[in-house]
Every structure is written in structure tokens, then in C-alpha cells.
Amino acid sequence: MAIKLYQFAISHYCEKVRWALDYKGLNHETINLLPGQHVKTIRTLTGGASSVPVLDHDGHRVQGSKEIIDYLDETFPENPLTPADPENREAALAWEQRLDDELGPAVRCYSYHHFLQRPKVVVPMLAAGTPFYNRILLKLAFSRVDEIMRNWMKINEKTSERSRETMEAYLTELADIYRKKPYLVGDRFSRADLAAAALLAPMFQPEQYPVPWPKAARIPRDIKVWLDEWQPQIQTLEQVYTANR
Ligand SMILES: N[C@@H](CCC(=O)N[C@@H](CS)C(=O)NCC(=O)O)C(=O)O
């Protein structure tokens, strides 16, 4: 049996899948792609959309973090991430959907809006896990990379501010729940908790997450001020990550 994960090391959707694979104790190979160059590789694999993560299990391919977790739970039922009880299952899937659709893009937009203004910091994160010369390529083409990423993800001052508000709403909601109970759904860890903590992980920068996080002094000022203000809520999510990752 061979499992391969095609991914960007930086992607928090890929972190969802890395975590699911580790949680289930499944051996796998990660194939790190450079954003931009990934399109050809992924389209060849899927025959369709170019987004990562993509899982290849003995030639069977699954695209998208939610679909991959569905597949892993069906194929390798040990250490389930989907609750067995139908009501809890529905609740966990609804949480994951909301988090994937709203929180994930908000974290990405807010972070990139500020980090793209620091090429020296963001390039090593974008190229993490790929050959060293990709850092040089990205640095040389940075103004084009910046333009493409901003266009593709609709990143600008206004969307970044809206994204910050979305993150604040989610952090408030999640921290309120975790103050009262250890899990979002039922009485055990599920894909709902995994999605929340993985998608917010760039805000607490865990060691297991395979990118060279910047030292505190190199974090853009706006983000640093914001992180300080939201530290109690962020720490709550970090605890969920540490306890279950
Ligand atoms: N909902 C999808 C989102 C995946 C996604 O947005 N992936 C981004 C990286 S964070 C990507 O691959 N972008 C490049 C592309 O779409 O070609 C999932 O959960 O897998």
C-alpha cells in the first residue's frame, strides 16, 4: 500500500490532511509542490481542478481536504475522525464545511495580505520542502507572484480587513465553546476540532507544521499587534492542537 500526499507545505488545508494521516497512523510520502508550478502536476493527476491537497492511494486519487478525510475514514476506519452517531456526524460535517468555506480563506487572505509585503519572509514559506533553487526563482519573479496570488485569492486592503473580522468572529465563537467543553461535537475529538485547529495553526505557528515560521521580529507589525490582542483565544486553539496532534 502506498499513500502519497501532493501538497504545499504552507497550506493549512494540507495541514488538515497531514494531521488526519498522522492521527490514523498511516505511513505516507509527501510531495511538496511549488505554488504556480503545481498546476501541471495536479491537473495531470486529477484531470480537473488544480488545488491541493490531493491524495493518491495506490493510484486512486482524491482531491480536497474534506473528501480526503471522508475517504480515509471509509478506507481506514481505525481512529475515526467522523462521529458514528448520525446527529454528531452531521454536526461535525457542518462545522468542517463552515470552517473550510469561511475561516480557511479568511486566515489565508489576512496573512498573505501582510506577508506578501515581506518577500524575504514569505518566499521561504511558499517554497518550503522544495529544492533550494525555487527560493531563487520565486525571489526573481516576486512581483509577478505577488500579483497572481492577489488576483487569484482577491487579496487587498479591504478583503484583508473583512477577513480579520471573520477570524475574530470565529475565534470568539470557538473559544467560547472550548471554555465549556473539550470538543466541538460530542465527547471526543473529531474532524470539526481538527479543521478548526489546523486552519488557525498559522496563527500559533506549531513546530510540527513544516514551514520556516518567521522569528517574532520579522512578523508584519499589523499581524503582531493583532496576535497580541487575540492571544487568549488563539491559545485556546493551540491547546486543542497540542492535545490532539
Ligand atoms: N476546500 C479545499 C481548498 C483547497 C485550497 O484552497 N487549496 C489551495 C492552497 S491553500 C490551492 O491549492 N490553490 C491553488 C490552486 O487552486 O491551484 C480543500 O479543503 O482542500
DSSP state of 34: -
In the prediction, which pLDDT does 129 show?
A: 97
Tens of pLDDT, residue by residue over 6-23, are 999 999 999 999 999 999
Q: Pairing mode, if any, of strands 60-63 and 54-57?
A: antiparallel
Residue of the CA atom closest to atom 15 of ligand 1: 51
pLDDT in tens, 115-152: 999 999 999 999 999 999 999 999 999 999 999 999 99
**Ligand 1 centre distance from Cα of residue 187 (Å):** 30
Is the minimum distance from the CB of 41 to ligand 1 under 6 angstroms?
no
Who contacts 34 (Cβ-Cβ below 8 Å, separation ≥6)? 126, 127, 130, 134, 137, 138
Asked if residue 199 has pLDDT above 90, the reply is: yes
| CATH code assigned to 3-75 | 3.40.30.10
**How large is the average pLDDT for residues 24-32?**
98
62 has which bridge partners?
A: 55
Distance of CA 51 from the midpoint of ligand 1 (Å): 4
Q: Rounded to a whole number, what is the distance in angstroms from the first to the last CA of the chain? A: 24
Ligand 1 atom with minimal separation from the 42 CA: 17
Locate cell 533550494: which residue?
132
Reported confidence tier of residue 187, pLDDT bands at 50, 70, 90: very high
Calculate how far, in angstroms, residue 64's C-alpha sits from the geometric centre of ligand 1.
Answer: 7
pLDDT of residue 194: 98
The cell for 197 is 485547529
In contact, 68 and 53? CB cutoff 8 Å: yes
Q: How many CB atoms lie within 10 A of CB 8?
A: 24
- Reply yes or no on whether the pLDDT at 1 is more than 90: no
Tell me if residue 32 falls in helix, strand or coil: strand
Alpha carbon 94 to chain centroid distance?
A: 18
**pLDDT over threshold 90, residue 229:** yes
Is residue 63 within a helix (H) or strand (E), and if so which, with residue range?
Answer: strand 60-63
Residue 93: how many CB atoms within 10 A of its CB? 19
Helix extents (H) in 47-190 = 65-75, 86-98, 104-115, 119-126, 133-140, 142-152, 157-180
> Grid coordinates standing for 83?
462521529
Instruction: Decide which of 1.20.1050.10, 2.60.40.150, 1.20.1250.20, 3.40.190.10 is the CATH code for 86-244.
Output: 1.20.1050.10
Q: Tell me where in the chain the CATH 1.20.1050.10 domain(s) lie.
A: 86-244
Q: Report which protein residue has its CA nearest ligand 1's atom 12.
A: 51
Q: Is the pLDDT of residue 105 over 90?
A: yes
Between residues 36 and 203, the one the model is more confident about: 203
pLDDT (tens digit per residue) in 150-165: 999 999 999 999 999 9
Specify the pLDDT at position 13: 98
What sign has the CA pseudo-torsion 218, 33, 93, 70? negative
Which residues belong to CATH 3.40.30.10 in the chain? 3-75
pLDDT tens column, 47-96: 999 999 999 999 999 999 999 999 999 999 999 999 999 999 999 999 99
> Any idea what the Cα angle at residue 62 is, between residues 60 and 65, rounded to 5°?
150
Q: Cα of 13 to ligand 1 centre, how many Å?
A: 7
HSE-up (13 A, CA, CB side) for residue 180: 8
**pLDDT averaged over every residue in the chain:** 97
11 CB near ligand 1 (under 6 Å):
yes
Three cell numbers, residue 155: 487579496
